[in-house]
Amino acid sequence: MAPSGPRRDTRGIVDPDELLARVRFRRHEPAPELRPYLEHYWFIDWELSEPYASHVVPHPSVNVVFQRYEGDGQEIAFGEVAGIGLELFTKKLTGVGRVCGVQFRPGGFRPFAPAWPVSEWTGRRVPLDEVFTDADDASVEAVLAPEADHARVAALDAFLLARGPAPDPQAAQATALVDLVRTDRTIRRVSELARAEGLSSRSLQRLFSNCVGVGPKWVILRYRIHEALERAEAAGAQEPPDWAGLAAELGYSDQAHLVRDFTATVGVPPTAYARQVSDP
């Protein structure tokens, strides 16, 4: 079942208060026909007097991104397909810019590009016309030109509806399984997820490679890190979270494993991150 509206959380954004203080960030719901496949549209506009680096721990989602940057008397506009990012994603923002993005639900991109396994795009950012061969500069301009959000939403709806989706039962199954991982904390291992769906671990791996773009173990780990990141942000200004308790809650064998994964993904240990976001 598709969500009833765009997410309101900032899960995955590193130091979201800092980001929201510097840019205009908002999410919008797509057309009803697209909601089973998309999380939401996301828009960012900025006009900065000094550079700012944003950081995001990526979701297990493909994004289609339309971008415009202005500075030094030049303007650059382009579109690209951003496969699932395996590492912390850092983007330096300067001058004046605009981004209009489409975040697909895990498994939701495959019906729009059924000729390739979604793993084809993992860790890659490729030009829009490499995936949608009929996309051109006019397609990009149609999305980026409007000032009003509702007009950008309409342009994104038109772009996607003209290019699919082609219903895919396997992709829908993969979406449902990722939703299960996201919402059911008792699913902590690939074998548990496979049993829940009545699949072998090998079949589950193949399904995720084809339709999600990463393996089920990666998805489980990524949602653990998102949860830990959110807990650190919520507790930062009050008192440190119970890291040992959170590690057990998220299925880690001990606190050290949580700290290791958090540090490897975010770049700093969780205690340091909680302290960082609590500083004025």
pLDDT at 72 over 90: no
* Residue 247's pLDDT band (cuts 50, 70, 90): confident
130 and 185 part of one domain: no
268 and 131 part of one domain: no
- CB of 24 within 8 A of CB of 60? no
CA 21 to chain centre: 21
Is residue 216 reached through a cis peptide bond, with omega within 30 degrees of 0 on the bond before it?
no
240 and 125 part of one domain: no
Residue after which a domain boundary falls, among 122, 139, 161: 161
Residue after which a domain boundary falls, among 110, 131, 161: 161
152 and 21 part of one domain: yes
What is d(CA 12, CA 65) in angstroms, rounded to the nearest whole number?
17
pLDDT at 1 over 70: no
Please state the domain count of the chain.
Answer: 2
Q: What is the DSSP string of 151-200?
A: HHHHHHHHHHHTT-----HHHHHHHHHHHHHHH-TT--SHHHHHHHHT--
Q: Is 6 inside any structural domain?
A: no
Residue after which a domain boundary falls, among 161, 187, 208: 161
75 and 145 part of one domain: yes
Higher pLDDT, 9 or 132: 132
**Angle (nearest 5°) at CA 73 between 72 and 78:** 90
Q: Is 3 inside any structural domain?
A: no
pLDDT at 236 over 60: no
* Residue 192's pLDDT band (cuts 50, 70, 90): confident
What is d(CA 225, CA 58) in angstroms, rounded to the nearest whole number?
10
Higher pLDDT, 251 or 280: 251
pLDDT at 102 over 70: yes
Domain of residue 234 covers 168-280
- CB of 188 within 8 A of CB of 220? yes
Q: Is 122 inside any structural domain?
A: yes
149 and 28 part of one domain: yes
Report the range of poorest mean pLDDT among 39-53, 130-144, 154-168, 247-261.
247-261
Across the range 173-178, mean pLDDT stands at 95
Across the range 114-123, mean pLDDT stands at 96
pLDDT at 126 over 90: yes
Q: Is 117 inside any structural domain?
A: yes
138 and 203 part of one domain: no
pLDDT at 278 over 70: no
What is d(CA 203, CA 83) in angstroms, rounded to the nearest whole number?
22
pLDDT at 73 over 90: no
* Mode of pairing for the β-strands spanning 52-56 and 63-71: unpaired
22 and 63 part of one domain: yes
pLDDT at 186 over 70: yes
Q: Is 9 inside any structural domain?
A: no
List CB contacts of 47: < 8 A, sequence separation 6 or more: 95, 96
Q: What is the pLDDT of residue 237?
A: 53
Higher pLDDT, 186 or 77: 77
What is d(CA 191, CA 146) in angstroms, rounded to the nearest whole number?
48
Q: Which CATH number is 174's domain given?
A: 1.10.10.60
Average pLDDT value over all residues in the chain: 90
Q: Is 178 inside any structural domain?
A: yes
Q: Which CATH number is 36's domain given?
A: 2.60.40
Backbone angles phi, psi at 207, to 5 degrees: -60, -45
Q: What is the pLDDT of residue 242?
A: 82
pLDDT at 227 over 60: yes
